[in-house]
Structure 1
Amino acid sequence: MTRIAIPLFPGFMPLDLVGPYDVLRFLPGAEVVFVATKPDLIPGADGGFGLQAQATPDDIDACDILLVPGGRGTRDYAARKPLTDWIARMHKTTTWTTSVCTGALLLGAAGILDGLDATTHWNAVPELEAFGARYTPERVVRRGKVVTAAGVSSGIDMALTLAGLIEGEEFAQALQLWIEYDPQPPYDTGSVAKAGAELAARTPGLIAGGARRG
């Protein structure tokens, strides 16, 4: 059995975890458990999407894969402390400790990224570096058993990378085909390097009036 533990908190970004979940659940013997401080329905970004937590930190004392999503809720470090304490404990038991987007900030708050290369959403780099991490502008960054992914959609890339490391490239390639992950975006602005500094500077203001990023 491969136990995959995913912490939930108010304001998590749905795609941060749903994307990699829909890859990693196909690992042989996979058991996925959603963990929150209370076994309730946990609201995601802007309250429009929620997931049911199945366990609390007291219920889970070890896991093989820890997958930490991001979202605006990561910034409330005081409220997240029970989860970051649990993340630090889980890290001692994991084969793989992973994050997507600003989930890296929770790894940082748990003391896991100090002195490590890591990635996160491009708009959260100063916060990441405040935890002692060295920001690396790559879509997926692996350092030992710690694997971090950049913004939101990169969680799928991270999960496929992880599947390849665990079960081999052919299995991961088959998974990519099964979920038909063949990105062909209508615009080539999916990174700061491609979008340019001018659009990057305007983006937070453009997004603020609608659905917000994690």
Structure 2
Amino acid sequence: MEQEPVNVSEFQKLAKQILPKMYYDFITGGADDEYTLRENIEAFRRITFRPRVLVDVSRINLSTTILGHKISVPIMLAPTARHKIAHPEGEVATARAAAACNTIMVLSFTSNCTLEEVASSCDAVRFFQLYVLKRRDVSAHLVQRAESNGYKAIVLTADRPRLGQREADIKNRLLLPKVKIYEGLISTKSHSGKGSDLESIASGIMDASFTWKVLTIIQCIV
């Protein structure tokens, strides 16, 4: 781009120019025909602000609190996977950006950096995303590590008992850098020329039997 990007759409255009197609498709893509992805985008676009005129706006304060933690604006960084495909410092860089903006980062379960690396990178408030695995002891271990490293909340992801069929990733035969969060705790197998790396790993470790009953186990851990 001739000029520095100034909005999210321009950052996306820049990313498309720079990133390998495999990684760009992974970051921007959804499952199957991507119907839900398009509906989510359209739903967000339909949100409007009701203008209030003749109101004193010489001082504006957008700050709010999340679970008792004050942030500068009502915007948090959602858990997204494998930041090193876009930046060499990965989630460490993301955490520093969150700290600079005085907001909260939710560290992804599939981070390329460890819980400890992100925790030591800055003083930002951090939450940790948790998937419930077939190996419940690993899930418990990760919760305990998050707590001991100062993560203030667990963000439980419950809407993915199985990975959706991400067609672009399958066609690209997606290969991803190693996840550091659970490295050494569970073994994962990459694909052997078919499908995507993500698909084969997720099917091997995710617990498709996850129900409300499991929440009581997690509560006991926390």
TM-score by length of 1: 0.31
Higher relative contact order (CA 8 A, sep 6+): 1
The structure carrying a bigger strand percent of its residues is: 1
TM-score with structure 2 length normalisation? 0.30
Which has more radius of gyration?
A: 2
